[in-house]
Amino acid sequence: MGPVRELTELADLRRCERVQRTVWGGDELEVTAASQLKAAVHAGALVAGAFEGDELLGFVFSFPSYTRCGDGWRVGQHSHLLAVRPEARGRGIGRQLKWFQRAWCLARGVTHVTWTFDPLQARNARLNLEHLGAYATRYYPDFYGPLGGLNGTGPSDRLLAEWPLTAPHVAALAAGEARAAPPTAVATGLELDPEGRPLVHRVPADAQAVRLEVPARVDLRGGDPLTLTWRLALREVMQPLLARGLRATRFFRGGYLLEAAAHAPDA
């Protein structure tokens, strides 16, 4: 696999359209068009692609963002798309694209990146929280409405990931250092029962660390009733925990670790 590079020419941006159709399928109107990518890049967005020879294996797309920070506003990037072709998965391409994004942002004085992801997608959760060092702070029920394609027709719940690019733990991960072992003294809020269904537990109001287990894989496209059961159970438990100030900081052994801000990684 060749190096990641910025994509600014229409010919390359049209390849991003094709990758989106391959990865997600669904309504043609949901594909971010090359013309829109071109305008966004002109206005300060990033589109970067990972190649093997002349073949585009995956790309990342982020655009400038402004979020509340105390009494002011923080300028950052919101990472809207990260797509890797199915046959190229498992090769670390997603990580490579995100570390390129971090370097690109830091070179421009941007220190904070956000994005949303499906909390039931365990593989994405592990990449975002465990390998990149992002943390999730908010739970948005049915954020996009029905998406179709790979995402199916159920609620499109999303977690908001925040990536503090200069935090010591993120810098250590970027340098290839291993993460410290996660804490073991945690309350359990959600786990799989013997039939693979969600088992919800009461979480003490003063819990400083909570574990939420999720299935390794769910069928979003096929309308499996168990997927909706898991969606609603995770929403029931996770949304109020995040709302009271806990953050999802790790994903290990098939589940989220939520920690109080005082015990969470540097922000």
Calculate the CA 85 to chain-centre distance: 17
Contact between 110 and 77 under an 8 Å Cβ cutoff? The reply is: yes
Question: In a structure prediction context, what are the per-residue pLDDT tens digits for the chain, which is 267 residues long?
Answer: 568 999 999 999 999 999 999 998 766 557 999 999 999 999 999 999 999 999 999 999 999 999 887 788 899 999 999 999 999 999 999 999 999 999 999 999 999 999 999 999 999 999 999 999 999 999 999 998 877 665 566 889 999 999 999 999 999 999 999 998 888 779 999 999 999 999 999 999 999 999 999 999 887 766 688 999 999 999 999 999 999 999 999 999 899 999 998 655 554
Tell me what pLDDT residue 124 has. Answer: 94
Sign, Cα dihedral of 29, 12, 105, 39: negative
- Residue (of 79, 129, 86, 85) closest to 100 by Cα position: 79
Edge-to-edge strand order for the sheet containing 246-252? 4-6, 46-52, 55-69, 72-84, 112-117, 158-164, 135-140, 246-252, 255-260, 209-213, 187-192, 198-200
The CA–CA distances, whole Å, from 257 to 74, 96, 138 equal 27, 24, 14
What CA–CA distance (Å, rounded) separates 75 from 164? 12
Tell me what pLDDT residue 144 has. Answer: 87
Tell me what pLDDT residue 264 has. Answer: 56
Tell me what pLDDT residue 29 has. Answer: 56
Query: How many CB atoms are closer than 10 A to CB 239?
Result: 17
- Please give the domain boundaries of the chain with CATH numbers for all domains: 2-175 (3.40.630.30), 187-260 (no CATH)
Question: In this structure, which amino acid lies at residue 187?
Answer: A
Instruction: Please give the model's pTM, rounded to 2 decimal places.
Output: 0.91
The CA–CA distances, whole Å, from 173 to 95, 100, 245 equal 11, 13, 25
Sign, Cα dihedral of 54, 99, 134, 186: positive
